[in-house]
Structure 1
Amino acid sequence: MENATPVSIHLTTVITQPDGSKEKLTLESEGEWIQKNNIDYLKYEEEQNGGTVRTIVKMEEDSAVILRSGAVKMRLAFSRGNKMMSSYESEHGTLSLLTNTKAYTHHTPGKKDGRFQITYGLEMQGSSVGTYKMTIDYKEAVQ
């Protein structure tokens, strides 16, 4: 994509299970920040389950989409205050997911750094699998 800027990415996800227990996941990665048609995109890769997962995060004013491909195939759609259909592909077939976006912010204090934060409920096949609070901090990588 055009005008890609290398960025350092720090991602934290806190998952609150339906039973109230919490799990925290963190990821440090290098990636790219791209702005196209006034929409911000983050692209990065992570190793998971013995394979590479490529992730693209599309951040608009009131909505976002997280696309994952490779070892994991997933499409999560978010719209502030709305429920959105999403999907997760596994070797057993495609599962339908529902995201319920409770909070969404995307701050860009600098031109090429920012914080994307989203809190959402996730349902899989009609049952709650928990509430997720994802924070992605990114800043221009020093070359």
Structure 2
Amino acid sequence: MDNATPVSIHLTTVITQPDGSKEELSLQSEGEWIEKNNIHYLKYEEHQEAGTVRTIVKMEEDSAVILRSGAIKMRLAFRRGDKMMSSYESEHGTLSLITDTKSYDHTTPDPENGRFQITYGLEMQGSSVGTYNMTIDYKEAVK
């Protein structure tokens, strides 16, 4: 990929379980912002107990894909107002997921600074696991 810009990333996810309880996850990371063929990408790593997870967020005008590899292998696809097939690989095999995108917004006041915000319902093997509200704020890293 070309023209990678180092960025600081702050990710927040609020998960509302089917029973109404909420859980908030937060991550601070360094990564790269890349623009290629009018498509924006964020690349970053997160370190978990299971190991390192490499994440690529591909953002287009009305759709996005989140690819995670390493300790977790997952592909989440999103399209505004649509249900999309996704997958999660576990030690028990590949589980099929369905994302139901409720809202999707990607704003870039200037190229290396922006906010990616998405709200989606997630189904695993046919049953709801909750509604996810994910926000990724990123800004050019200070050198």
**TM-score > 0.5 by shorter chain:** yes
Counterpart residue identity of residue 122, structure 2: L
Q: Distance in 2 between matches of 1:16 and 1:48?
A: 22
3-state SS in 2 of match to 1:128: strand
Counterpart residue identity of residue 79, structure 2: S
Deviation at 1:110, TM superposition (A): 1.5
Matches within 5 A, 1:72-111: 72-111=72-111
Q: Which residue of 1 aligns with 2:34?
A: 34
Q: Distance in 2 between matches of 1:111 and 1:62?
A: 18
Matches within 5 A, 1:1-143: 1-143=1-143
CA shift digits 1:32-73 (9 cap, x unpaired): 000000000000000113300000000000000000000000
Q: Distance in 1 between matches of 2:19 and 2:48?
A: 26
3-state SS in 2 of match to 1:13: strand
Q: Which runs of 5+ in 2 are unaligned?
A: none
Q: Distance in 1 between matches of 2:27 and 2:11?
A: 5
Q: Which runs of 5+ in 1 are unaligned?
A: none
Aligned residues: 143
Deviation at 1:134, TM superposition (A): 0.2
Q: Distance in 2 between matches of 1:79 and 1:111?
A: 22
Task: Please list every run of at least 4 consecutive aligned residues from structure 1 whose deviation after the TM superposition is greater than 3 angstroms.
Answer: none
Q: TM-score, normalised by structure 1?
A: 0.99
Q: Distance in 2 between matches of 1:127 and 1:93?
A: 18
Counterpart residue identity of residue 129, structure 2: V
CA shift digits 1:56-99 (9 cap, x unpaired): 00000000000000000000000000000000001110000000
Q: Distance in 1 between matches of 2:34 and 2:83?
A: 27
Q: TM-score, normalised by structure 2?
A: 0.99
Counterpart residue identity of residue 95, structure 1: L
